[in-house]
Amino acid sequence: MEMMTAIPPGSVGEVAPQRAGFLEPLILKAGKTLASYELVYETYGTLNADRSNAVLVCHALSGNHHVAGWHAGEPKKLGWWDNMVGPGKAIDTERFFVIGLNNLGGCHGSTGPASVDRATGQPYGAGFPLVTVEDWVASQARLMDRLGIGRLAVAMGGSLGGMQALQWTLDFPDRIGHAIVIAAAPKLSTQNIAFNDVARQAIVSDPDFHGGNFYAMKTVPARGLKLARMLGHITYLSEDLLGEKFGRDIKGDDYGFNYEVEFEIESYLRYQGDKFALTFDANTYLIMTKALDYFDPAREAGGDFAKAVAPAKAGFLVASFTSDWRFPPERSREIVKALVKGGKDVTYAEIDAPHGHDAFLLDNAHYHKLVAAYMDNVAAEVGAGDRARPLIVGGTELEEMKGYSGRGKP
Amino acid sequence: MEMMTAIPPGSVGEVAPQRAGFLEPLILKAGKTLASYELVYETYGTLNADRSNAVLVCHALSGNHHVAGWHAGEPKKLGWWDNMVGPGKAIDTERFFVIGLNNLGGCHGSTGPASVDRATGQPYGAGFPLVTVEDWVASQARLMDRLGIGRLAVAMGGSLGGMQALQWTLDFPDRIGHAIVIAAAPKLSTQNIAFNDVARQAIVSDPDFHGGNFYAMKTVPARGLKLARMLGHITYLSEDLLGEKFGRDIKGDDYGFNYEVEFEIESYLRYQGDKFALTFDANTYLIMTKALDYFDPAREAGGDFAKAVAPAKAGFLVASFTSDWRFPPERSREIVKALVKGGKDVTYAEIDAPHGHDAFLLDNAHYHKLVAAYMDNVAAEVGAGDRARPLIVGGTELEEMKGYSGRGKP
């Protein structure tokens, strides 16, 4: 008998990524065309007979298609939203068919800057076009076509993922029943863009970046990517959480009066930065931050966001977290106000959570119950059945804290 | 007749830096010793007969000794606090003798990492010791000795400068009458340290940094210094000010879908970063940020800040700005609470200003009137006479905005 990893309650268990190739060119907002591309995706649960129970999970800046469960041989590398998606969880895979994909331009399997451009036989590198939230939604719609899903029950995501869910309701109003838009904003603020540009400048000014064509040079702009991640990280966590977890704790017994790691927070950030630089693609980071900067549905509606959301027919669950200073609650309320003004069906929740922007990734019973309750209504609407077991809210650790072995306060 | 630059009302006019050399070794908190050093300083106004009217102005991270007026041939390069210091201004040079100096470790004339170490005949570079706020105060006290000033009427400063003013009251309680502590904090928060470390990592990971000994290599770690400044800049300005001034304005008519400068805020930050990288020393930047990180008077008092400030005998004016998110008002209130707990004489003002941390450098009639009123009391106390003319609150532009020619909203 072969050893099997036991499947814990609420887990989808072992999963395998799948691939879909598209030969029909995709015309991008940037005016360029992707002649062909592949999307890597995962699915959890079963598509019901009338194909009405599909839930698309859209990822944020550094996310990917691996939303729940684990891959063969990697039982500890759980999907990034494993606490949200699974049998009995808020997104209940006993009732819903859940799809996660890696976005175009990504670095986890879908066609992106590190992929080989068939036209040249070389990695795209700097030649990979900038993609937008609209482009992603268009590519996602094609994946839904491929899977035989004419209409999504729900598109959902946090942060940049929430922006995609929102864009779905504008670009395909007849193909989506509900959007769950978490910790998002109708567009980036000036400060948001400013932080993104510092991160991008860190990457492009790294001598190992080689104008984006570092693959051929066998280099990785690790210094720049590390800085980008360190900076991003500060904005994902609340000041209070940082203070509680690391305070002014130092590694040694006294100040070292040198530039080695000294404060615990330095140790933590550098560790996260180094880890990220080893696993993430610098061009993808640039593409993702530009997609964030560009997102602005109101732009083509004369700056009127309420007018921009007029086409939407979906129901909305909008959620924000009190301590999120990247996209604080007032940004979510901008979305809500415009939707309400347009007479849309909107539920809004401002969730008291201390973790900052990353709260959308974390267990929080109130938050998960809220999503679960919303999904119960969706299930009733699409005939996806009743919840078979009590809601499972798991004990998932803050992703960014994983693997860090410093002595930060518990 | 020679052409003279007319002296506008409230200006100290043309000034010249002076130098003071110190041969008595200075033992630093880091345990190292500076065998000798020079301080560059400027003075404005006249020291009165009983030497009771001296005001020491301490500078912040990127400041220097040039506080007011202009240098010969540079009539447009006004001192960084010219709006505060001058005849008839809040710090009235008709009544007070004002001293500005460049701190040890600086890059504007005082002994610092770019100075030649007499022991080696080479620039100190990485060999320049880390200095602390306490070290600066000790060196400032020696400069006061040299100038024949036994007791300061006032030590004052914003941000890191305010921390020095506070430290004066603890280390030399009998040599200071009042401390004006503006936009400061009793110690950096975890988030403050985190931002500083990203800035430092940007500098030390720049290949042109050469471990701090870039002088010999004839390089400048301009990429790192630029990133550090861009990042710092974001934290100096309020999110609202950034939004009002730059919004989501773009340079061209439409999105460019490339990595060139696109949003006005990118143009502005990169401009500021480039300008700074050309004029500031990377090692000094590291030293200044570490001095900020290390500042923590409570540390040697078992974490009890109220106990730490017990030695102080000075009167205090503590001021904060509502939109400052680097050292927000609650951080100033921590200082005030500890002082009040210790029965000190404290005036606290929370000033409504939209500019963020940099507000301490700006004209704001309410703010300047407040400082002027406090100084009127000090003047009465030390016999520095009455104000001879109405308070002059000038029209100084936000320093960081100077020279930027983008089309940011006016």
With bands split at pLDDT 50, 70 and 90, how would you rate the model's confidence at B388? Answer: confident
**Pick from B187, B201, B265: CB nearest A193:** B265
Nearest by CB to B231, from A205, A231, A294: name it: A231
Catalytic residue set of A: 159, 324, 357
CB contact under 8 A, B257 and A204: no
Output the 3-class SS for A36-50: CEEEEEEEECCCCCC
Please indicate whether, in this complex, the C-beta atoms of A191 and B231 are within 8 angstroms of each other. no
The catalytic residue among B206, B324, B355, B368 is: B324
Q: Which of residues 309-338 of A touch B (CB under 8 A)?
A: none
State the ipTM, two decimals. Answer: 0.94
Task: Say whether B201 and A257 touch across the interface (CB within 8 A).
Answer: no
Phi, psi of B297 (to 5 degrees): -55, -30
Confidence band (pLDDT; 50, 70, 90) for B389?
confident
Six-digit token string for B385: 């006479």
Nearest CB to B242 within list A129, A190, A242: A190
**Whether A248 contacts chain B with CB within 8 A:** yes
Q: Which comes out higher in pLDDT, residue B133 or B392?
A: B133
Query: What is the per-residue pLDDT for B395?
Result: 54
> In this complex, is the C-beta atom of B66 within 8 Å of any C-beta atom belonging to chain A?
no
Mean pLDDT (chain B) is 94
Alpha-helix residue ranges (DSSP H) falling in B295-364: 305-308, 329-341
**DSSP annotation string for B22-48:** E-S-EE-TTS-EES-EEEEEEEES---
* Single-letter residue type at B397: E
Residue of B30, B190, B273 lying closest to A257 (CB–CB): B30
Mean pLDDT of B289-303: 97
Q: Which residues of B touch A226 (CB under 8 A)?
A: 201, 205
Residues of B in contact with A262 (CB under 8 A): 293
B268 → chain A, closest CA residue: A194
Which of these, A326, A374, A325, lies nearest to A349 by C-alpha position? A374
Q: Rounded CA gap, A86 and A383, in Å?
A: 19
Token reading at A251: 């590694």
State whether residue A33 sits within 8 Å of chain B by CB. Answer: no
The answer to whether A243 faces chain B, any CB pair under 8 Å, is yes
Q: Is A193 on the interface with B (CB under 8 A)?
A: yes
Q: How far is B282 from chain A (nearest CA, A)?
A: 13
Among A29, A191, A270, select the one facing B242 at the smallest CB separation.
Answer: A191
DSSP state letter for A89: S
Minimal Cα distance from B222: which residue of A? A205
| Predicted confidence (pLDDT) at residue B409 exceeds the cutoff of 70 | no
Contacts of B239 in chain A (CB under 8 A): 189-191
- pLDDT tens digit sequence for B33-68: 999 999 999 999 999 999 999 999 999 999 999 999
Angle among Cα A202, A206, A212 to the nearest 5 degrees reads 100
CA B257/CA A287 separation, integer angstroms: 10
A 94-133 → B contacts, CB under 8 A: 129-130
Asked if the Cβ–Cβ distance from B234 to A191 is below 8 Å, we say: yes
CB B213 within 8 Å of CB B126: yes
pLDDT per residue as tens digits for the range B8-39: 999 999 999 999 999 999 999 999 999 999 99
* Chain A residues whose beta carbon lies within 8 Å of the beta carbon of residue B257: 29-32, 129-130, 290
Identity of the residue in A30, A190, A263 whose CB atom sits nearest the CB atom of B193 = A263
Contact (CB<8Å) B204/A259: yes
DSSP SS3 for B59: coil
* Contact indicator for A219, A195 with CB cutoff of 8 Å: no
CB contact under 8 A, A190 and B223: no
**A222 → chain B, closest CA residue:** B205
- Check pLDDT > 80 for residue B406: no
The alpha-carbon gap from B391 to the nearest alpha carbon of chain A, in Å, equals 36
**CB atoms near residue A398 (< 10 Å):** 17
Of A32, A187, A259, the CB nearest to B200: A259
B345 touches A: beta carbon within 8 Å:
no
Residue B80: what residue type?
Answer: W
CA distance linking residue B251 with residue A286, whole number of Å = 19
Q: In the structure encoding, which two tokens stand for residue A198, read together?
A: 């510092």
Interface test with A, best of B135, B257, B293 (most A CBs within 10 A): B257
Query: Min CA distance, B360 vs chain A (Å)?
Result: 20
Which helix (H) or strand (E) is A155 found in, with range? strand A152-158
Residues in chain A with CB shorter than 8 Å from the CB of B133 are none
Query: Does residue A296 sit at the B interface (CB-CB below 8 Å)?
Result: yes
Q: Minimal CA–CA distance to A115: which of A291, A287, A107?
A: A107
Establish if B251 touches chain A: CB-CB under 8 angstroms: no
Chain segment B227-286, per-residue pLDDT in tens: 999 999 999 999 999 999 999 999 999 999 999 999 999 999 999 999 999 999 999 999
B36 is catalytic: no
pLDDT at B393: 84
Identify the pLDDT of residue B4.
62
pLDDT of residue A6: 83
Q: Is B194 on the interface with A (CB under 8 A)?
A: yes
Mean pLDDT by 10 residues, chain A (410 residues): 72 97 97 97 98 98 97 95 97 98 98 96 96 98 98 98 98 98 98 98 98 96 98 96 96 93 97 97 98 97 96 98 98 98 97 96 95 98 92 63 48
Question: Which tokens sit at A36?
Answer: 């062909």
Share of chain B above pLDDT 70, in %: 95
Is A269 within 8 Å of B197 when comparing Cβ atoms? yes
Q: H-helix or E-strand containing A182? A: strand A176-182
Identify whether the C-beta of residue B346 lies closer than 8 Å to the C-beta of residue B339: yes
Interface membership of B24 toward A (CB under 8 Å): no
Q: Is-contact A53 A96, C-beta < 8 A? A: yes
Q: How many CB pairs under 8 A join A and B?
A: 138
User: What is the model's pLDDT at position B396?
Assistant: 52
